[in-house]
Amino acid sequence: GAVVSQHPSWVICKSGTSVKIECRSLDFQATTMFWYRQFPKQSLMLMATSNEGSKATYEQGVEKDKFLINHASLTLSTLTVTSAHPEDSSFYICSAREDSGREHYGYTFGSGTRLTVV
Amino acid sequence: EDQVTQSPEALRLQEGESSSLNCSYTVSGLRGLFWYRQDPGKGPEFLFTLYSAGEEKEKERLKATLTKKESFLHITAPKPEDSATYLCAVLRGSNYKLTFGKGTLLTVNP
């Protein structure tokens, strides 16, 4: 089945530094990937839609200069949290939409990244 | 605005005690309703997609149904390994975006 690899699984960084999270589709091509943020006991909140070869589309209220998204190939999207602050601490999850559009519209999720900013 | 409401927020069952989780939605032009399972510290794992009212799908102890206003996830004779958060999400239009509910935390005691 479709597999999405997300790295790292967890990361601790100091305030003011930047952190890059990778989302890779291992066995399929994904023109479109999505980045979510999830707070404890809360739903997944869509941050942005990542489109291969073009600029990401950010949801209302998400700072595009803080959360930089790059989707340079059909199998890789990256999220960089710039100048991280403690309030950026959260669980970040990516998903990839398979271009071939299988039965469940091909939404496969990564395993998530726990970011802690100290 | 799309709305997805899941109930209950938490459900505790004894092993073998069947029950149902609810997902009510308000969305125009529904293209699909998804059920996912999420274990702590992990990403969601796909369970089912339902496309139209009246549709039903089954997988092991789980059965998902869909009406025009809500979906149910029925769990028959659950086991402790079924303990997880179950998420419902809807897809509409052509923007490929999913809108998630807050989930139901299911705990099955042995």
Q: Express each pLDDT in A60-101 by its tens digit.
A: 999 999 999 999 899 999 999 999 999 999 999 999 988 766
Cβ-based neighbours of B107, under 8 Å, separated by 6 or more: B10, B11, B12, B13, B83
Residue A18, min C-alpha distance to chain B (Å): 22
Chain B hits for A26, Cβ within 8 Å:
none
B96 touches chain A (CB under 8 A): yes
Task: Specify the higher pLDDT residue, A44 or A1.
Answer: A44
Which residue in A6, A105, A112 is closest to B91 by CB distance? A105
Chain A hits for B43, Cβ within 8 Å:
4, 6, 93, 95, 109-112
Indicate whether A103 pLDDT > 60: no
Query: pLDDT band at A106, cuts 50/70/90?
Result: low
Which residue in A32, A41, A111 is closest to B43 by CB distance? A111
Cβ neighbours around A117 below 10 Å, total: 20
In the 8-state DSSP scheme, what is residue B39? Answer: -
Structure-block tokens of residue B71: 């979906």
pLDDT average, residue stretch B64-81: 97
Indicate whether A105 pLDDT > 80: no
Do the Cβ atoms of A92 and A37 come closer than 8 Å? yes
Indicate whether A42 pLDDT > 90: no
Strands (E), chain A: 4-7, 10-13, 19-25, 32-38, 44-51, 57-58, 67-73, 76-81, 90-97, 107-109, 113-117
B55 touches chain A (CB under 8 A): no
- Count CA atoms closer than 13 A to A34's CA, side-chain side: 21
Q: Whose CA is closest to B13, among B5, B22, B21?
A: B21
For chain A, give the mean pLDDT.
91
- At residue A47, the pLDDT reads 96
A92 φ, ψ to 5°? -105, 130
Query: pLDDT band at A40, cuts 50/70/90?
Result: confident
CA A110 to chain centre: 9
